[in-house]
Amino acid sequence: MHFSIVHERQADGRWAAQVPELPQVVAYGATKDEATEKAELLALLALAEKRFRHGRA
């Protein structure tokens, strides 16, 4: 599965990374790369949980 990551700089300087295809996935980091890495990991965990619960992703 392919998903996109949308980035936004927060007022406090942190970066937010969100996966629109998985609304529950939002991650924050000190840098854009850090937020992206966290969002990728959370997306994989969300897909694994969905597969575990429903038998599919």
The domain tally of the chain equals 1
Whole-model pTM: value is: 0.84
Instruction: Tell me if 1 is assigned to some domain.
Output: no
Angle among Cα 27, 13, 40 to the nearest 5 degrees reads 20
Per the domain annotation, does 18 fall within a domain? yes
* Strand partners for 48: none
Tell me which of 56 and 14 has the higher pLDDT: 14
- Let me know if residue 47 belongs to a domain: yes
26 domain-assigned: yes
| pLDDT tens digits along 3-47 | 899 999 999 999 999 999 999 999 999 999 999 999 999 999 999
Q: In which band, very low, low, confident or very high, does the pLDDT at 56 lie, cut at 50, 70 and 90?
A: low
Are residues 16 and 32 in contact, defined by beta-carbon separation less than 8 angstroms? no
Instruction: Count CB atoms within 10 A of the CB of residue 55.
Output: 7
Q: Is residue 49 part of a domain?
A: yes
Q: Would 34 be classed as within a structural domain? A: yes
Buried b (16+ CB within 10 A) or exposed e, 17-39: bbbeebeebbbebeebeebbebb
Please give the residue range of the domain that contains residue 22: 6-54
Statement: residue 57 has pLDDT above 60: no
| pLDDT score of 50 | 84
